[in-house]
């Protein structure tokens, strides 16, 4: 499976995405059911409140993503301990635009 990962812009300066890359490569965390996956893109939400998520999700699909992953920095607040206050709106907007055939994975590790 090929995935596109969307992460929080606010954590970009303190997290290089290492844990996300490891769990996708090893098929761990959110990828225990799928097994290892290939990353076709690793982008940010564009900043609060996530208005750039829709074109970026579409871009990831255009690049071959078969699923969109909203990283744990957004859903769980890793590593800063503060989840995105806009997460539900972002998730719902992405689900609406990509349709039922593209799964949304709501965390990574």
74-99 pLDDT tens trace: 999 988 889 999 999 999 999 999 99
Q: CATH number of the domain at 93, please.
A: 3.40.50
The answer to pTM > 0.85 is yes
* pLDDT number for residue 80: 85
Q: For residue 67, give its domain range.
A: 2-105
Residue 86 exposure: Cα atoms within 13 Å on the Cβ side: 16
Paired tokens of 100: 């039922």
* pLDDT number for residue 93: 96
What total of structural domains would you count in the chain?
1
Tally Cβ neighbours within 10 Å of residue 72: 24
Which parts of the chain are beta strand (E)? 2-7, 38-44, 67-70, 104-105
């Amino acid at each position: 499976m090929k995935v596109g990962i969307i992460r929080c812009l606010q954590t970009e300066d303190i997290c290089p995405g290492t844990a996300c890359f490891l769990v996708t490569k090893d098929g761990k965390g959110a990828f225990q059911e799928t097994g290892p996956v290939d990353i076709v893109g690793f982008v940010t939400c564009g900043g609060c409140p996530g208005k750039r998520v829709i074109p970026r999700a579409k871009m990831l699909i255009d690049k071959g993503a078969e699923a969109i992953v909203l990283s744990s920095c957004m859903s769980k607040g890793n590593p800063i301990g503060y989840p995105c206050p806009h997460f539900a709106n972002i998730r719902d907007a992405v689900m609406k635009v990509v349709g039922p055939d593209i799964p949304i994975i709501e965390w990574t590790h």
